[in-house]
A = this chain, B = another copy of it.
Amino acid sequence: MAKKDLTTSISMIKPGKILIRGYDLIDLMGHTSFGDMIYLLFAGELPQKNEGKMIEAILVCSAEHGMATPSTNIVRSAVSGGVPLQAAVASAIIGLGDFHGGAVEGCAEMLQKHISLAREKGFESAALEVVTSYREAKKRIMGYGHGIHQPEDPRKVRLFRLAEQYSLPSAHMKLAGAIETTLKNVLGNPLPLNVDGAVGAIISDLGLDWRFGKAFFYLGRGAGLTTHAYEYMVNERPMRRVYTWDEVNYIGPEERKYQQP
Contact = CB atoms under 8 A, between A and B. Distances in A.
Interface in A157-214: 158-159, 162, 165, 209, 211-212, 214
Contacts of A253: 9, 21-22, 44
Interface stretch (A84-92, A113-121, A125-133): A84-92
A252 B222 contact: no
Given A77-B71, A258-B23, A60 B29 contact: yes
A242 interface: yes
Chain A interface category by residue count: 35 or more
Interface string A69-110: 011011001101111111111111111111111100100000
Interface of A: 3, 5-13, 15-35, 37-38, 41-42, 44, 46, 53, 56-57, 59-61, 63-68, 70-71, 73-74, 77-78, 80-102, 105, 147-150, 152, 154-155, 158-159, 162, 165, 209, 211-212, 214-215, 217-220, 222-224, 226-228, 230-231, 233-236, 238-245, 247-258, 260
